[in-house]
Structure 1
Amino acid sequence: MDGPAEIGRRVQRLRTALGLTQRQLAEPSYTAAYVSTLEAGRVRPSETALRFLAGRLGTSYEELATGRPAHLATELRAGLTDAQRVLATGSAAEAATLYEGLLADAERHGLAPERAEAHLGLGDCALETGALQEAGRHFREAERLLAGEPAPRRARAVRGRAVAHLLAGELRYACYLLESAIDELTGGGLADPEALVMLYAASIGPYMDMGAHARAAHAAELALALAPRVDDPALVAGMHRQVARTFLAEGRTADADASLAKAQAMYRQLRLGTDLAHCHWMRGYVKAQSGELDAAERELRTARDMLAARRAALFAAQVEVELADVLRRLGRHEEAAALLAPVLDLDLDDGRGAVHAGGAHRLLGLIAEERGDAEAAEEHYVLALGLLERSGATGDLADLCRLLGDLLRRTGRVEAALDAYRTGLGHRAAPGTTTLGPAPAAPPFRVAGGSGAAEAEGS
């Protein structure tokens, strides 16, 4: 409820607009003197008095007490649902316009929960279009607005911030955000299954990129165990998509493909375009790992075209790195190099796309080697090392050091090759020791599977 002065001015404005005197408004339950005192802001009206006056003024108790139109919060919630549907099935730009209008309404009427939801939606729109700094700003504001809420209510904002940092190549910080949120949930007795599945699934990507495979596998194990307790099919589908990465790392190609098929079926049913494109992307990667290069090319081209149609430029460019690798392996070097050239521009001042720009330089180095141009290959490998070192992509760094060491050894620079190999070995040893701290605590309730994997990388 607003203060007496605001309510008084509101009553006077509405009474005057209706052409009522103070006595006409007050009778039969109150006096003209009471209405005069109320309009002057010298008395705080009771709920009973406000409900009586609202009836006489043809408005609602809520609007008289707060200035908010009746059912405004309900209407804003419906609008937020519509904007979310547009983001899922239509254009991120169109959804962002809807969210901005809803945010303005929520701010004007002081509706903090609806403001937070609008910022979350705008953050998701910015992620899709690759505006990572803008995404981070919206997710931070949502987290601020939800600061007084229980930890599960803040999980989506934390996940959004972590994804923005992951896409910017800040893997370690992404892990820190997610692990801190998981520890808050489990340590505070607020182990909400939906929030935990969201956070465990989001942590798999940065763990895998950092080479912390055992920790990623344990996060996948816990997410799978909690999935039956989650009612949101989109969240479960996203979990299956991330879990497929751990299956693939363990050589379980059939399990990875089955997990992706489950996610794909859910996304089709829910008409979630960007997520469906991500499934095609991941299935292309799975096909490439199993040597089915023609099938991999088809899946990756489908993913790239779907993302480009949605103007998800950053994601589309990332798919092109995977597609270029397939084309290289098929011997189509010119096509591969042409795809990679635009990806090199992803590493802007904010670090956006550093991991993928590094991946592009690595592939260009391989192409140069296969063409017999050792000098160009070395230049690309060194550029890739610089980009990946900034991001902390430990697993990729170790492989890159091996490629550089092999190249240097073949060109007769044995000491330099040994230095490259030693650097690579150092990156392989990092996960679970100096790279990451203790693993997040397991949920306090019983889940299937043990915790040995987490302990193995958390020591």
Structure 2
Amino acid sequence: MGTRSAARAPYDDGIGRRVQRLRTEQGMTQRQLAEPEYTAAYISTLESGKVRPSETALRYLAGRLGVSPDELATGRPTGLATELRLRLTDARQLLGAGEAARAAEQLRELLPTAEENGLDEERADTLVALGDCALDLGELTEARDSFTAAERLLAQAPPPRRAAAVRGRAVSYLLAGELRYACYLLESAIDELSRGGLDDPDALVLLHSAAIAPYMDMGAYARAAQSAELALSLAPSVRDPELVARMHRGVARAMIAEGRSAEADASLSKAQELYRQLHIRTELAHCHWMRGYARAQDGDLASAETELRTARDMLAAQRAQLFTAQVDVELADVLRRLERREEAACLLAGTLDALGAGLGPERGAVHAAGAHRLLGIIAQEDGATEDAERHYCQALSLLEHSGAAGDLADICRLLGDLLRREGRIDAALDAYRTGLGHRSAPGTTTLGPAPAQPVF
């Protein structure tokens, strides 16, 4: 009988306890477990936690005890990580099909198992998926908390690994009206990739695609176009078809703003085809939404209404409340332009009822303000100036703490114009000054240097 020594290691009795438990469960003595490769004394020392087995010893003992080396070393059941990944994929499919609430319920069941077994990678991915569910359900605070927790778990991981969590947190700020901070998060992540020489195509496309929306909303059209062009140039190197589809959807918006309608339509067609193949209904609804927006910009209001109604029906069926509210406002504007103002006003009133009374920057304030803004325009067109003023003031109140400086300035302009036409010059000047104050507030509409371009 030969003997082998095991290297000394810091005190760690986890493996020893597992060896003792498995040996006892199988009715083996220390000598029976050890022979013919090791001694009973070595097994006793290991079980007491005074030594840690070498890789060779670990494989030998695992074979004798009928478990995998990984299970013996970590205490995790064999294949647990794979099982969690499969269940995570199932939940992602539910989310894509528009079942965000059911998906979130399944994902919450995975978290304790991942945490108890030290599976931080799987736990982080589950938190990102939970954040995406919360975004669909309009729970912005919950979404932000999930993405932040995922970032903490991945704090020591390479920047590309953290990109999905950063993108999710930025989207949650965007939906709450914090446009500049959303840009800051995305640009910081892009610069971190560049500084570390980690020009990962998937991560860059994900981050640049996400940056297009806040850039557009802030009026930073050159930056939006730059991000769109870079994302398009990297698309052939991207492995994930869902990411390619998301990129095409984001790029289309930048193209619409540049008047490149045919190219935008082509990008949307590519995105829709990929989403159909992947059975992701939520994102497919966003494509119809974007196509309706494009048609409205081109003046094809009948087609715009059809596309927006399709998007609205899909999102409403999935209970994606905030996204449905955004589509409602755009659809109502199309109806107003079609001279169907009463129908538009009814749609907007229903939107406000659906968002509820408990509005704030974290849940629906920006979207409700958009509805009040359009109701004010409709009332003004109908000659109901008191109603128009009331709606403009409600929009201002909702936006006051949101950080959506551009929207605030626009409301102030509309209100100022209304008051000026009524001869209330002093009140109009106050409204204009308020709008100018929001436009000129430090950091509200200006961005720092553009993120560095990747070097391949």
Matched with 1:414 is 425
Secondary structure (helix, strand or coil) at the match of 2:401 reads helix
Matched with 1:318 is 326
Q: Residues 311-341 of structure 1, C-alpha deviation per residue, up to 9 Å, x if partnerless?
A: 2122112211111112222233332222222
Secondary structure (helix, strand or coil) at the match of 1:391 reads coil
Q: State whether structure 2 residue 45 is matched by structure 1 residue 37.
A: yes
Counterpart amino acid of residue 208 in structure 2:
Y
CA contact (8 A) 1:119 1:142 kept: yes
Matched with 1:163 is 171
Write the mapping of 1:38-53 to structure 2, written as runs, cut at 5 A: 38-53=46-61
Q: 1:335 to 1:2 in 2, by over 3 A?
A: farther
The alignment-based identity, stated in percent, is: 71
Matched with 1:135 is 143
Output the aligned Cα RMSD.
Answer: 2.4
Matched with 2:252 is 244
Matched with 1:376 is 387
Supply the distance in 2 between the matched residues of 1:2 and 1:388 (Cα, whole angstroms). Answer: 57
Of 1, 6, 9, which residue of structure 1 is paired with 2:17? 9
Runs (5+) with no aligned partner, structure 1: 446-459
Q: Residues 19-56 of structure 1, C-alpha deviation per residue, up to 9 Å, x if partnerless?
A: 11222222222222222222222222222222222112
Matched with 1:362 is 373
Supply the distance in 2 between the matched residues of 1:3 and 1:101 (Cα, whole angstroms). Answer: 33
Write the mapping of 1:11-160 to structure 2, written as runs, cut at 5 A: 11-160=19-168
Once the two structures are TM-superposed, the CA of residue 430 in structure 1 deviates from its matched residue by 7.7
Matched with 2:232 is 224
Counterpart amino acid of residue 402 in structure 2:
S
CA contact (8 A) 2:218 2:445 kept: no
Matched with 1:191 is 199
Q: Residues 344-390 of structure 1, C-alpha deviation per residue, up to 9 Å, x if partnerless?
A: 34672353222211111111101111221111111212222343453
Counterpart amino acid of residue 437 in structure 1:
G
Supply the distance in 2 between the matched residues of 1:393 and 1:215 (Cα, whole angstroms). Answer: 18
Q: Which range is displaced more, 129-138 or 434-443?
A: 434-443
Counterpart amino acid of residue 112 in structure 1:
D
Secondary structure (helix, strand or coil) at the match of 2:13 reads helix
Q: Which range is displaced more, 89-98 or 309-318?
A: 89-98
Q: State whether structure 2 residue 341 is matched by structure 1 residue 333.
A: yes
CA contact (8 A) 1:238 1:263 kept: yes
CA contact (8 A) 1:343 1:356 kept: no
Q: 1:423 to 1:247 in 2, by over 3 A?
A: farther
Q: Residues 57-107 of structure 1, C-alpha deviation per residue, up to 9 Å, x if partnerless?
A: 111111111101222222222322222222212511222222223222211
Supply the distance in 2 between the matched residues of 1:312 and 1:8 (Cα, whole angstroms). Answer: 51
CA contact (8 A) 1:60 1:70 kept: yes
Once the two structures are TM-superposed, the CA of residue 400 in structure 1 deviates from its matched residue by 3.1
Counterpart amino acid of residue 291 in structure 1:
G
Runs (5+) with no aligned partner, structure 2: 1-8
Q: Residues 153-177 of structure 1, C-alpha deviation per residue, up to 9 Å, x if partnerless?
A: 1111100000011111111111111
Supply the distance in 2 between the matched residues of 1:291 and 1:431 (Cα, whole angstroms). Answer: 36
Of 159, 180, 186, which residue of structure 2 is paired with 1:172? 180
Q: Which range is displaced more, 173-182 or 98-107?
A: 98-107
Q: 1:349 to 1:388 in 2, by over 3 A?
A: closer
Task: Answer 1 or 2: higher relative contact order, Cα 8 Å, separation at least 6.
Answer: 1
Supply the distance in 2 between the matched residues of 1:201 and 1:431 (Cα, whole angstroms). Answer: 26
Q: 1:434 to 1:314 in 2, by over 3 A?
A: closer
Supply the distance in 1 between the matched residues of 2:442 and 2:171 (Cα, whole angstroms). Answer: 20
Secondary structure (helix, strand or coil) at the match of 2:53 reads coil
Q: 1:230 to 1:444 in 2, by over 3 A?
A: same
Once the two structures are TM-superposed, the CA of residue 397 in structure 1 deviates from its matched residue by 3.9
Q: TM-score, normalised by structure 1?
A: 0.90
Q: State whether structure 2 residue 209 is matched by structure 1 residue 204.
A: no
CA contact (8 A) 1:234 1:270 kept: yes
Q: Residues 388-433 of structure 1, C-alpha deviation per residue, up to 9 Å, x if partnerless?
A: 4533434444443432233222212234435545655676678999
Q: Which range is displaced more, 315-324 or 158-167?
A: 315-324
Supply the distance in 1 between the matched residues of 2:219 and 2:434 (Cα, whole angstroms). Answer: 15
Counterpart amino acid of residue 318 in structure 2:
R
Q: 1:220 to 1:426 in 2, by over 3 A?
A: farther
Q: 1:358 to 1:350 in 2, by over 3 A?
A: closer
Q: TM-score, normalised by structure 2?
A: 0.91
Q: Which range is displaced more, 247-256 or 360-369?
A: 247-256
Q: Which range is displaced more, 352-361 or 140-149?
A: 352-361
Supply the distance in 2 between the matched residues of 1:178 and 1:263 (Cα, whole angstroms). Answer: 22
Matched with 2:414 is 403
Supply the distance in 2 between the matched residues of 1:210 and 1:83 (Cα, whole angstroms). Answer: 34
Q: 1:244 to 1:419 in 2, by over 3 A?
A: farther
Counterpart amino acid of residue 401 in structure 2:
R
Supply the distance in 2 between the matched residues of 1:421 and 1:325 (Cα, whole angstroms). Answer: 24
Counterpart amino acid of residue 284 in structure 1:
G
